[in-house]
Chain A
């Protein structure tokens, strides 16, 4: 084997230095522009960070595909639900008349909105696909209030970075960044196809995040918390699915 020449040694050293400093600069920039997901640690962190950063850089304003009415699935699949807790059953018995969505955290005017309050805000509808991480999917029409309308009504503070949302069912919460929270298709959904949102599909209120997988569309939501950090919520990785070993960002 021929000995490594000085020129080769120097150029390899320069390339390595350039590579390391390139990664360092990229990491600093990524952090500054909010391209690091909360589950960026561990062995899967690099892949997850690349996915999240790439999608945020390239798809921040993209709209999820919308379909013609003729493509609405005749057999949407509600998926499995744990038995309802007593609080939910009480609401169900009274036709969800007292169901409220609290808006708190980094907002100027915390609020508590009933389903009819939400119906009084500007309505939006979309025919989009629910995509489960398992592989199955269906298309439905979703009707509700855009999340940005709900948040803007309460006045988002400038340091806000995430919106955390909670189901009435215990240990069921998720979070999204402001790019998805303010996205026009992110919907506080109260109706589906031709009627009220059925309980199996998350009624009375479900947050639809159509640019991410179904597990980010939490059913039976009762609370939205605007925050600048996910550290204070559960284990700090931004949701029950992330705590259970799934990716926080589910745009892939």
Chain B
């Protein structure tokens, strides 16, 4: 199956420098967005559906936490300190950084064929049997074999593609639909999401999906070997950095034969 695996020689890194740099910029921005997003939610931990919603309307649901504003009916007898000023500043600054980084990554990925060769599932893996087999081994928390240090399996590939091409664009659109300036210029986005409060609720849930992805992503890295995976994403080097192409090829081929 020569097209299923792109063989690498020992000089080429596990992850291209471009991928490593954009990965860590995205990581930093994601944490900044997550923390500041949570801070902003604390000022009004109630969610609505439709165009409008406030303290006098029935929420779709509310998060049972104290709020940083005293008119929010939370049931708690105290009010948390207001952190929205710097949270909003940092939220949008991190959003700019991650959106620009993501745009560069998308252009680079299309230009170099990164998405096609590294993220689109390999041809041999494009069957339900293979997909279910990979899921089954994930569910059993089986430690991945050696070959997976050099390439992604199909479940990883589909998860990464979903995050890159579905959840990130959706979190950006639902976030933009909260900007009164953007909504004036492009009303179609907020209107198609069902109104401003629907967009806010969706923004919250899409962010929760991304957080869930992050948790599973880190759990899988720990399972696969935290040090080796972190080294690969930071330095680009795999286990020793001196492994020859022949070893990679034979490892990959043997697993390929097993799978057939």
> Would B54 and A212 count as touching, CB distance under 8 A?
no
- What is the size, in residues, of chain A's interface with B at 8 Å between Cβ atoms? 44
Answer yes or no: A75 CB below 8 A from chain B CBs: yes
Interface residues of A in 217-252 (CB under 8 A from B): 244-247, 250-252
> Would A131 and B54 count as touching, CB distance under 8 A?
no
Answer yes or no: A174 CB below 8 A from chain B CBs: no
> Would A245 and B86 count as touching, CB distance under 8 A?
yes
Give the residues in chain B near A80, CB-CB below 8 Å: 69-71
A247 CA to B36 CA, complexed, in Å: 15
> Would B52 and A139 count as touching, CB distance under 8 A?
yes
Give the residues in chain B near A212, CB-CB below 8 Å: 180-181
Per-residue 0/1 for A62-90: is the Cβ within 8 Å of any B Cβ (1 yes, 0 no)?
A: 11110100010101110110000000000
> Would B180 and A135 count as touching, CB distance under 8 A?
no
> Would B184 and A59 count as touching, CB distance under 8 A?
yes
Answer yes or no: A58 CB below 8 A from chain B CBs: yes
Min CB gap A15→B, angstroms: 13
> Would A48 and B92 count as touching, CB distance under 8 A?
yes
A55 CA to B176 CA, complexed, in Å: 12
> Would A135 and B41 count as touching, CB distance under 8 A?
yes
Q: Which residue of A lies closest to B11 (CB)?
A: A2
A135 CA to B180 CA, complexed, in Å: 12
Q: Which B positions have Cβ atoms within 8 angstroms of A?
A: 11, 40-41, 43-44, 46, 48, 51-57, 69-71, 84-86, 88-90, 92-97, 178-185, 187, 190-191, 196-197, 200
Q: Which A positions have Cβ atoms within 8 angstroms of B?
A: 2, 43-44, 46-48, 50-51, 55, 58-59, 62-65, 67, 71, 73, 75-77, 79-80, 129, 131-139, 210-213, 244-247, 250-252
